[in-house]
Amino acid sequence: MAWPRVQDNRILAALLAMLAALAWYALWLGEKTPFGHAFLHSGHHMHVASSGWMLALAFVAGWTVMTIAMMLPTSSPMVLMFHRMVNDRPQGNWLVALLIAGYLSVWIFFGAVVYLFIRILHLATAQLPWWTTHAWIGSGVLLLGAGAFQFSSLKYACLDKCRSPMTFLVERWRGARPAREALRLGMDHGIYCVGCCWSLMLVMFAVGAGSLAWMLALAVVMAAEKNLPWGRRLSAPVGVLLIAGAVAVFVLQR
């Protein structure tokens, strides 16, 4: 029996909102799990000695849920526009699902890379006793790097792609091989999304990713940058705030 088709964009928008809400709820529940420090990517995770596969799975699972909660809503306009484009096709729902899967796969891959980097960093600093009392340096560097990236040409180039979903779709969608193109569209959009938002996602490791309030604040900033008419002008002030935060960390902690 075929699944019922979702033909109304309002229904799809409601489903996306429900998915994001469930992801936020899962993050809240994740605080109570034995691997909650990894699931929520709290700063404590940077110093965890365990390197078991369960910890890696918890990290990637948490990153995936965070992507659904924080990033998928920012790309909802593109998903809804694509749904309008393929709504008249019998496999329209499947194509939308492939688009979302491609988008999430890029963020999941990036999360795996982040985890690998964290493990390498931990192994490199495990034999440095002074790092335990100077771990704040990592937070300061993250804030400084994220702030500087807010002014980079790469940030604005990727952000412009994210802020023009209709142009993005029209330039890439041909419909000759719909399933393959839908998956590729999602992956391409995910690459640009990572390109403009990766530094803000990593800010969570500096401000304490275990705080859902910080996650929500960063999600609001990224959504505003990508979707509000004046969102592009928000990048520079956010960059100034991040750099100021880095300066405060270095001055107050030294």
Per-residue pLDDT of the chain (254 residues; tens, 9 = 90+): 344 556 678 889 999 999 999 999 888 887 665 555 555 554 444 444 445 677 778 788 888 999 999 999 999 999 999 999 998 888 888 999 999 999 999 999 999 999 888 888 887 777 777 666 677 788 888 999 999 999 999 999 999 999 999 999 999 998 889 999 999 999 999 999 999 999 999 888 777 555 788 888 999 999 999 999 999 999 999 999 999 999 988 888 76
Say what the pLDDT of residue 181 is: 95
Token pair 């520079």: residue: 236
Say what the pLDDT of residue 130 is: 67
- Concatenating the DSSP letter of every residue in 12-80 gives HHHHHHHHHHHHHHHHHHHTTSTTHHHHTT-GGGGG-----HHHHHHHHHHHHHHHHHHTGGGGHHHHH
pTM (predicted TM-score): 0.87
Would you mind telling me the total number of residues written for the chain in this entry?
254
